[in-house]
Amino acid sequence: MGTKWHKPEDVVAKLRQVDVLVSQGQSVAEAIRAIGVTEVTYYRWRKEYGGLKSDQVRRMKDLEVENQRLRKAIADLTLDKLILQEAARGN
């Protein structure tokens, strides 16, 4: 079975849907089955996206992407610096 990647906005919507179903009297397990994910996935999502709104999730994901890009840039610059230091020692 293939892996389906959910967008963060979809995850928040599904978490809200579970909350609505539970408040209507369904058990948590039934509500989780209704949104079509496993219990492990539901609890992982709830841990990560628990109290966030859709726009906050989008912003968080954008910041994670930017942070990853900046970390890569720092690693590249650090490597360049080390190479230059090594070359300067050789002279």
Examine the domain organization and report whether 15 and 34 are in the same domain. yes
pLDDT for residue 2: 57
Examine the domain organization and report whether 46 and 59 are in the same domain. no
Number of domains in the chain: 2
Examine the domain organization and report whether 29 and 59 are in the same domain. no
Examine the domain organization and report whether 36 and 65 are in the same domain. no
Contact criterion met (CB below 8 Å) for 11 and 57: yes
Examine the domain organization and report whether 10 and 30 are in the same domain. yes
User: Which H or E run includes 5?
Assistant: none
Q: Which domain holds residue 2?
A: 1-52
Q: Which residues, given as ranges, of the chain have pLDDT below 70?
A: 1-3, 91
Examine the domain organization and report whether 13 and 23 are in the same domain. yes
pLDDT for residue 39: 94
Other CB atoms within 10 A of residue 37 CB = 18
Q: What is the token pair recorded at 58?
A: 């989008």
Is-above-0.75 flag for pTM? no
pLDDT for residue 1: 52
